[in-house]
Amino acid sequence: MSYFRRIARIAVAFLVAFTQLPFIPTAFADPTEVNVNNQLVLLKTQTPPSGSTPAGGIYPIKGTFKYTGTNPLTNLFFRVRTLRYNNGSLPPPELVNADRGGTGVGAEKDVLIPSGGLLPNTTFTITFDIKLPRIAKFTFLVDAFTQLTPEPPITPTSGFIHGAPQNCQVYLPSRCFYPTHS
């Protein structure tokens, strides 16, 4: 079996395994980010045909997912958890179409969301362009996140009890909510 055919199998295995991966939170996780791996179902994967050479060393992995959550999403992105050659050789592969966070672990790729949000039971397709310095087996794992929109903070106000002014201020904590569209 050719190296390229093995790489195609690994890429398909990545996308198939995607929905079965548990999310492992990091110590410095953003509290407004919510992992939504369990709300995405992989429907289809597409990789270059066996035996073809990636153009410019770019290996596209295309995945079609179905969103099964209950609230519309106004944003969705994937963050690279692992991107490396299986034998640990350098330089490592890179996600060259990342939107932010570099091209390796921590790189983020946004999903284009239609106006009105990503509604429950809708599908979307995303392509990850992996630059391969050399053709060899590699591991590529991502987690899916949505960014919650925090409510604007409530400004301090003076409190009044039974019409009598009090010398106190009330501070209510902010809380996060799922963005919705009407």
Task: Say if residues 181 and 72 touch (Cβ distance below 8 Å).
Answer: yes
8 Å CB contact between 69 and 93? no
> Which of 6 and 59 is assigned the larger pLDDT?
59
Mean pLDDT of all residues belonging to the chain: 75
Q: Please report which confidence band the pLDDT of residue 150 belongs to, taking 50, 70 and 90 as the band edges.
A: low
- pLDDT score, position 31: 74
Query: What's the confidence (pLDDT) of residue 149?
Result: 64
Q: What is the pLDDT of residue 49?
A: 77
Q: 3-152: which CATH topology?
A: Immunoglobulin-like (2.60.40)
Mean pLDDT of 21-38: 68
CA dihedral sign, ordered 86, 91, 94, 100: positive
pLDDT score recorded for residue 152: 54
Alpha-carbon distance of 146 to 75, in angstroms, equals 6
Q: Is the pLDDT of residue 168 over 80?
A: no
pTM above 0.85, yes or no: no
Residue 180 clears pLDDT 50, i.e. is over it? no
pLDDT value for 32: 83
Indicate the pLDDT class of residue 134, thresholds 50, 70 and 90. Answer: confident
C-alpha to C-alpha distance for 134 and 90, rounded to whole angstroms = 10
In whole angstroms, give the CA distance from residue 109 to residue 25. 18
Six-digit token string for 35 = 């992992």
Name the 3-class secondary structure at 10: helix
Q: How confident is the model at residue 153 (pLDDT cuts 50, 70, 90)?
A: low
Average pLDDT over residues 91-108: 95
Whether 175 and 163 have beta carbons less than 8 Å apart is answered as: no
DSSP, collapsed to helix, strand or coil, labels residue 38 as helix
Distance CA 17, CA 114 (A): 27
Strand partners, 58: 131
Residue 116 binned pLDDT confidence (cut-offs 50, 70, 90):
confident
C-alpha to C-alpha distance for 95 and 2, rounded to whole angstroms: 23
Quickly list H helices, 50-165. Answer: none
Three-state SS at 83 = strand
